Amino acid sequence: MRQFFVSQHAADLTEKDAEIEKQEDAKKRAQEKLRAERKNNEIFVAQNFKAIRDEHLQHFYQMLTTEMKGRGGVLWHLDVLQEEIEKLEKRNEDRSKRKKENSSDEVSEHHMGGDQPLSSQI
């Protein structure tokens, strides 16, 4: 009887070991398949990204490599914005001067009777 339990226990251990090996083999195959898939994806992405970069991103690439190199490109954009701001400020100053001149002309006409008819001024 004892021999039976010992042999049964040994058979159970062998079965468990076989199941563990089967699971480990399946895990290794899945990992190898995943590695191969990742490698294929990396190759696919590298080839397609090169095509996309060559066709669709050329303008963006040129902008980055020429106009926006370092701080010079950014400063160039800031200079352009500053010039536009100065133009707008000058335009606003000119408008306010004209408004003041027009309002002072109206005041002087009013004192000279510019709003009244000629018959009432005499």
Decide: pTM greater than 0.85: no
Average pLDDT over every residue of 113-118? 52
Read off the pLDDT of each residue in 5-23 and give the average, rounded to a whole number: 91
Does 120 reside within a domain?
no
CA distance 93 to 97: 6
Is residue 5 a part of any domain in this protein?
yes
Same domain? For 43 and 73 the reply is no
Q: Locate 117 and state its tokens.
A: 């008819």
Domain region containing 89: 69-112
Q: Tens of pLDDT along 62-80? A: 565 565 555 555 555 666 6
Say whether both 1 and 46 belong to one domain: yes
Structural domain count of the chain = 2
Residues 81 and 50 in one domain: no
Is residue 121 a part of any domain in this protein? Answer: no
